[in-house]
């Protein structure tokens, strides 16, 4: 079963400065112990002055716990963004227990008033028992607060500076990765465009080669045809040659006849 999350329903009309919580919590730890010691002493001496002093210190303790709550809230809000998940959970638990201690302080205060006005032993005994329980929870709260400071570096200047530097480095790395991703996309697009241009130029080059080859072949064929045409005699030249041969033959025959 989870403990309900409660707060103090009081808004201060001013802003609480940071780094006051370490000062206040010392009084928050010491005052209940002093009240407990006074009540133990008063159980034997039964002095009115001790009883009044105990009451005043209890009221002062309530004021100190309110101050511890608001100063802790200011310091926690200042450092919360720089904490890891485990430290954030620890800080939330610490704040919740501190809030419960404020309300729990009303119990010994109530028994103190009953012990003063009723003068009953059971009221004084209940006061001492509740004070012992309250102080034990105060020690637990103090231990958790020490862990937040010494283990997680809450509001420690050097730790906060290192965390801020690390956070800046992470942001720079994220920006760098984003830029690299964009440039990688641009490079891929350029590669695709270059490949397309290469393919297009390759196709054009092939067409140009084919065209040049065809033209060269056509020229060769034309020259060959023209050469063949020029090397063959015409029909008239052939006829004249035939007639000349026939005339020579005829003359030869006449000469032969005349000789006979």
* Contact criterion met (CB below 8 Å) for 20 and 71: yes
The model's pTM? 0.60
Query: CB count, 10 Å around CB of 83?
Result: 19
- CA of residue 213 relative to chain centroid, distance: 63
Q: Say how far apart CA 252 and CA 255 lie, in whole Å.
A: 5
Question: 114-134 pLDDT, tens per residue?
Answer: 998 887 888 889 999 999 999
User: Given pLDDT bands bounded at 50, 70 and 90, which one contains residue 257?
Assistant: very low
| Distance in Å from the first CA to the final CA of the chain | 158
Contact 99, 6 (CB under 8 A): yes
pLDDT for 42 beyond 50: yes
Residue 40 has pLDDT above 60, yes or no: yes
List, for residues 65-99, the tens digit of each pLDDT value: 999 999 999 988 888 877 888 888 898 999 999 99
* Domain boundaries, given as residue ranges, for the chain: 21-155, 175-255
The class (CATH top level) of 21-155 is mainly alpha
> CA 135, 141, 142 angle in degrees (round to 5)?
90
- pLDDT tens profile 140-158: 999 999 888 888 877 665 4
């Amino acid at each position: 079963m989870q403990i309900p999350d409660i707060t103090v329903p009081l808004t201060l009309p001013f802003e609480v400065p940071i780094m006051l919580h370490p000062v206040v919590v010392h009084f928050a730890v010491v005052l209940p112990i002093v009240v407990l010691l006074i009540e133990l002493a008063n159980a034997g001496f039964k002095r009115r002055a001790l009883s009044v002093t105990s009451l005043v210190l209890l009221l002062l303790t309530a004021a100190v716990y309110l101050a511890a709550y608001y100063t802790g809230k200011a310091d926690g809000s200042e450092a919360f963004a720089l904490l890891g998940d485990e430290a954030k959970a620890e800080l939330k638990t610490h704040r919740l227990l501190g809030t419960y201690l404020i309300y729990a302080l009303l119990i010994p205060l109530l028994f103190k008033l009953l012990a003063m006005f009723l003068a009953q032993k059971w009221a004084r005994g209940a006061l001492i028992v509740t004070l012992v329980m309250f102080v034990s929870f105060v020690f637990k709260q103090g231990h958790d607060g020490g862990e937040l400071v010494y283990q997680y570096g809450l509001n420690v200047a050097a730790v906060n500076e290192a965390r801020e530097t690390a956070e800046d480095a992470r942001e720079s790395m994220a920006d760098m990765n984003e830029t690299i991703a964009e440039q990688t996309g641009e490079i891929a697009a350029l590669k695709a465009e270059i490949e397309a241009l290469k393919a297009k130029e390759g196709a054009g080059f092939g067409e140009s080669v084919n065209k040049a080859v065809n033209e060269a072949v056509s020229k060769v064929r034309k020259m060959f045809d023209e050469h063949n045409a020029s090397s063959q005699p015409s029909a008239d030249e052939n006829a004249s040659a035939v007639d000349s041969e026939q005339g020579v033959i005829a003359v030869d025959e006449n000469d032969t006849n005349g000789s006979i």
